[in-house]
Structure 1
């Protein structure tokens, strides 16, 4: 039986594929305008001043308007990977693509700390 690829060739292909995926993820540019249509789930908690969630523990939910967009995208990515521990945020983040996270981050970065953060108004 003829081998199609050697182990070293397969490893090289895997490395190149991973490098391409990593470069693609790093090149994602967020759009505040696109993010406006993606924050519908966020506004249920993050647009209410002094809101406290009671699952899994009592947790003061931050208003995130004016926050750095890259920080928000990174935080969402960390929830998605399980590096940040909050079940509700993890469930939401797992449904988001890298593009969605970047867009949401840019949407909130374009807001102010006192803006209502509600694109539906």
Structure 2
């Protein structure tokens, strides 16, 4: 009987350790930063240049809004802003729709591209 209890505890401990190892690897993969590729962004910029590529452009929906310059902006800032638009933390209908259509890699690529301008 003692051997059976000991074996059960040993197997339970091994199962817990194995699940921690797997969860730890998954967490580490999630924590790895996504590296943007400025060249890969070239096919993705068409949705940006219509507003951000026009000097002193003002959007008129839902209200008149000065569109900020993103060329030369910090890459981390661009990614953070896109994530906020995608989550609804920042609100502007056009940007929300665009940001929600982007993958994390798309965001990193666009940020790498626009941050490369000085």
For the superposition of Structure 1 and Structure 2, which TM-score range results when normalised by the shorter chain?
0.7 to 0.9
In structure 2, relative to structure 1, the CA distance for the partners of 1:43 and 1:22 (3 Å cut) is farther
Matched, 1:59 2:53: no
**Deviation at 1:50?**
0.5
Give the equivalent residue in structure 2 for 1:118. none
Aligned counterpart, 1:20: 26
2:111 is aligned to: 105
Shift of 1:98: 0.3
Under a length normalisation based on structure 1, what TM-score does the superposition of the two structures give?
0.73
Larger radius of gyration: 2
Moved over 3 A (4+): none
Unpaired stretches in structure 1, ≥5 consecutive residues? 1-8, 113-121
Distance apart, 1:20 and its partner CA: 2.7
Q: Which has the higher helix share?
A: 2
Give the Å deviation of 1:79. 0.3
RMSD over aligned Cα, in angstroms?
A: 2.3
TM-score normalised by L of structure 2 = 0.75
Gaps of 5+ in 2: 1-15
Tell me how far 1:23 sits from its aligned partner: 4.0
> How many residue pairs align between the two structures?
100
Partners of 1:25 and 1:98 within 8 A in 2:
no
Cα distance in 1 between the residues matched to 2:31 and 2:82: 14
